[in-house]
Amino acid sequence: MSRIKLLQPKEIVLFNQAPLLNLEEKSHFFSLQPPFVEEFKELRDGHAKVGFILQLGYFKCSGRFYGVNQFNEADIMFVVKQLGWKDWGNKVANFQDNYSYQTSYKHRLKILALSGWSSFEEKQTEFNHRIRLLIDQQMLPRKVLWKTLEYLFNNRIESPSYDTYRRAISQALIDSSEAISATLFNHLSDQDKGVLDLFILREKSYQKTEIAAFRTVSQSQKPSDIKENVIIFKTLKDRLVRLDSLIKKLNLTDAVIDYHAHWASIADTQKLAVHSDKYLFLLCFLIHQVRVRNDYFMDTILQCVNSAKKYSERLEAKDYFENRKQRAKAMKLLVESRKDYKQQIEAIKTIVKSPHDAQQKVDFIEDLFEVDTDLQPEDEALVALIEAELTKSKERTFHDIWESRSIWLSNRVGEIIQYLPFNSETTDPILFQTITHFQTHKGKLTKPPKDISWLSDSEQDSLTFYDEVTQKEKFRGRLYKRNAARMYSSKLLKVA
């Protein structure tokens, strides 16, 4: 059986590698205090002295010992410089060949004894017991590793290599699964077997099994791919519901589920089909797949809503800047018109104060009004633009743009929200009511639910518009669905 992968490849390298220390840390860890000073003075060979200081420094830092080939060359140079050895330039390159495994092992035992620490071999039984205890507490395997490492350090016990942790945790999971397998065998019905066997059945020899097809979850946000994922999720969810009573009897931990699901996802299908614990692996695979796909849907909703919001904001900004020149022309026209109006008023005042008789004054004023002041069509358009800008609500404009993106968003999150199950006890009440309303009407909304208090006043006002043709107010269902998706994503963000 494949052992579980606790760390990523890069993390494994760092775990097994000697610590990377900065200058301050090197000065601290590679310094000697009693009783190590006395032990150091008894050493005769230069390579042994450098190796002893390095082993001690790494041990003080991590509670572990490392192979000579894992020592950092910069640390070797630092220790040599600290000892004041100026003629060691060529010897540093040959250090690994001259600091033997036997000498390194002796230094390890001496450092443990002088430090008052226990060797790993002495406490291996306690090490295995600690891991089993953490596994029984439903702790995830990766966390078991770090918690065990912390426990060993705090209890002054030498820590082993990564592979030792991996073997021990894998074995603990196997041991834990044996009891579960026995319980599963006692409660597994033929009907339950039939549900799980669907994952590995082939109608024809050249066809892929379902477990092979379901292993990888497509992260695509194309509507067709999302729809396919929803269909698969519905299939898996239906099987999970049919096996619900069996799952409750098993009391599966997250660690056990993750371990067996991981093994099922990488195992050869033919080997899995004949494995004695195949039903446990298939059951854990089913549970894990439902969880993974549920998380995928959550991420998809968040990403699509954020993408739609940013797109709407870009369009709003684009609309504003595209009309900037026109607004400038309109403002200039208004300013010039104001000046012309003022000049006319001043001219009329001058005529009124003039010594001419009344009839002459009237004639002069009429001549003044005969000057063509009518606006050209392009000027009228500019004035209309200014009037529209003055009466236009910024929020209303954004809602209009937001609604224009509703089809794009609905094609991606509509089916997800329609088929995802929600817990009424843990879900925000208003959110749950909104989702229930959406699911009840299968996404075809002609009116909002009774409670839309989660929307702002302007958002509530924007949900209806007056139809000039029918002369009735109509519900803007697309805009409502977009606002609902946005609210849903914001609730998810708060939970996360």
Task: Find all residues with CB under 8 Å of 202, minimum gap 6, and list them.
Answer: 208, 209
Q: Give the CA radius of gyration of the chain.
A: 38
pLDDT at 124 over 50: yes
Token duo for residue 98: 């001259």
- Measured between alpha carbons, how far is residue 48 from residues 27, 40, 187 in Å? 19, 9, 62
Q: What percent of the chain has pLDDT over 90?
A: 31
Report d(CA 32, CA 63) in Å as an integer: 16
- DSSP β-ladder status, 464-467 and 472-475: antiparallel
- Of residues 89 and 269, more confidence is placed in 269
Task: Name which of 200, 222, 231 is nearest 293 in CA terms.
Answer: 231
Let me know: does 63 contact 55? Beta carbons within 8 Å. no
Let me know: does 107 contact 144? Beta carbons within 8 Å. no
Q: List, for residues 15-66, the tens digit of each pLDDT value.
A: 999 999 999 999 999 999 989 999 999 988 888 999 999 999 999 999 999 9
Q: List, for residues 278-298, the tens digit of each pLDDT value.
A: 999 999 999 999 999 988 888
The predicted model scores a pTM of 0.58
Residue type, 17: Q
Token duo for residue 489: 């994503």
Q: List, for residues 129-182, the tens digit of each pLDDT value.
A: 999 999 888 788 899 999 999 999 999 999 999 999 999 998 888 888 788 888
Let me know: does 477 contact 446? Beta carbons within 8 Å. yes
Residue type, 73: E
